[in-house]
Amino acid sequence: MSTSDVPHRAPNQHPRPFMQAYRKVYHTFGFSKGYNFPLYILTSAIPGEYYWYRAGFRHVGITLHLIGVLFGSVLAVLQFTPIIRYKFILFHRITGYFAIFLFLLGNVGAFMIIDHSMGSAPIMRVYIGALGTATTVGIILAYINIKRLQIDQHRAWMIRAWVWAGNIITLRLILGISLAITSSSNIELNTPFRCDEIYFMYSSTGVSAAENPIPSRFPDCGVDAAKNPRQVLVSSLNGNVEGIAANLRVCFTMAGWLAIVIHIFLAELYLWLTPAESHRLRVLSRTRQIERGILSVEDVKGGRLGSKNLGDAPEWWDRDVTEKRADVDHHLSTSAGKQSEGKEMIA
């Protein structure tokens, strides 16, 4: 059979609405191939964001944030690799210190750019502030617990801190889905932009001052739009780069809050599903603490940090204590049953 005899599939003259919207989005950004756009979403900033990161302390902040996040994440993967924890303990400890340092460095950078990140809306500032504070507290508690040899609590707080921080990955996935939905459904989203910020979106791509469309497109910006801090309302449906930026900015805020809720739930779900590992590490922690002289054999309160000291957890979830409590509970229930039978006979 010749190649000419092979039937060819007719081209799809009417692509599905989702694909039409997706093509419209990545063509607007200048991409000719659809598979390149998700990589851009995962790695690049929203148009106009770089206006604030070009120089000054915010440039330092975004640099610190990216270094801390990228390299810290690589070390975090090694930290959670079982074979490294079991067979290369010294390497695990050393890289752990570097991972904590990079983690905190990334958070410092995030706080340095919080005033202009994603439009600096209050809800976005609260998101960055809450996430940065929670992860910082979590990583510090993990460090304190490992210095006290409370390995079970160290594990719990490390899992929480890194899972919370990992919400940025889920955020990007939700962002891509939400962009496709808003574009295919022609949902209008409006958000304010500064004139100089919008002007920079074009000038940074090589558009000359004479050809920059912002003064004519937004008359309120005037002829000095490049230096005008005035804000104008931008619609996501205007079909230009600032419209795409408006869509991204609004969807990013929504995706951020949804992602952090998902990751908080996932972290607690994992800890709830692995009580045996937590108990094993707690037994190991007590043994190590007694060996180091942090605890005495008679001490049942642990390293002075945890629910057994700050809450109503049992003194020590040891096998002997557990069996003792089970015997006591069985004795009490048996006694209660006999008393109940005696009362029934009397009645």
Residue 70 has pLDDT above 80, yes or no: yes
pLDDT of residue 39: 45
Residue 4 has pLDDT above 60, yes or no: no
Output 233 or 40, whichever has higher pLDDT: 233
Lowest model confidence (mean pLDDT) among 49-53, 192-196, 321-325: 321-325
Residues 54, 167 share a domain? yes
Output 43 or 325, whichever has higher pLDDT: 325
Residue 191 has pLDDT above 80, yes or no: yes
Q: Is 322 part of any domain?
A: no
Q: Is 273 part of any domain?
A: yes
Residues 229, 90 share a domain? no
Output 84 or 33, whichever has higher pLDDT: 84
Q: Is 287 part of any domain?
A: no
Give me the residues paired with residue 190 across strands. 235
pLDDT of residue 43: 43
Output 327 or 217, whichever has higher pLDDT: 217
pTM: 0.74
Q: Is 329 part of any domain?
A: no
Output 216 or 318, whichever has higher pLDDT: 216
What single DSSP character describes residue 185?
T
Residue 160 has pLDDT above 60, yes or no: yes
Give the closest residue to 313 by CA, choosing from 295, 301, 299. 301
Residues 105, 225 share a domain? no
The total number of structural domains in the chain stands at: 2
Instruction: Please give the Cα distance from 278 to 293 (Å, whole number).
Output: 22
Output 19 or 221, whichever has higher pLDDT: 221
Residues 221, 121 share a domain? no
Mean pLDDT of the region 54-62? 85
Residues 144, 220 share a domain? no
Q: Is 88 part of any domain?
A: yes
DSSP, collapsed to helix, strand or coil, labels residue 232 as: strand
DSSP, collapsed to helix, strand or coil, labels residue 55 as: coil
Lowest model confidence (mean pLDDT) among 132-141, 258-267, 306-315: 306-315
Q: Is 242 part of any domain?
A: no
Q: Residue by residue, what is the 3-state secondary structure of 265-307?
A: HHHHHHHHHCHHHHHHHHHHHHHHHHHHCCCCCCCCCCCCCCH
Instruction: Please give the Cα distance from 256 to 276 (Å, whole number).
Output: 33
Q: pLDDT tens, 267-325?
A: 999 999 998 888 888 888 888 888 888 776 666 655 555 666 666 566 655 555 555 55
Residues 109, 51 share a domain? yes
Expressed as residue numbers, the domain containing 197 is 190-235
User: What amino acid occupies position 196?
Assistant: D
Residues 60, 98 share a domain? yes
Q: Is 210 part of any domain?
A: yes
pLDDT of residue 250: 87
Token duo for residue 70: 């990228």
Residues 212, 154 share a domain? no
Mean pLDDT of the region 242-256? 88
Residue 169 has pLDDT above 80, yes or no: yes
Residues 174, 50 share a domain? yes
- Helix and strand tally (H, E) in the chain? 15, 2
Residues 261, 160 share a domain? yes
Mean pLDDT of the region 195-224? 83
Q: pLDDT tens, 75-111?
A: 888 888 888 888 888 898 999 999 999 999 999 999 9
Residues 216, 80 share a domain? no
Residues 146, 98 share a domain? yes
Residue 264 has pLDDT above 50, yes or no: yes
Please write down the long-range contacts of 248-252, taking CB distance under 8 Å and 24 or more positions apart. Answer: 248/46, 248/47, 248/175, 248/179, 249/46, 249/118, 249/119, 249/191, 250/189, 250/191, 251/175, 251/178, 251/179, 251/182, 251/189, 252/46, 252/118, 252/124, 252/171, 252/175
Q: Is 31 part of any domain?
A: yes
Q: What is the mean pLDDT of the chain?
A: 79
Instruction: Please give the Cα distance from 176 to 86 (Å, whole number).
Output: 39
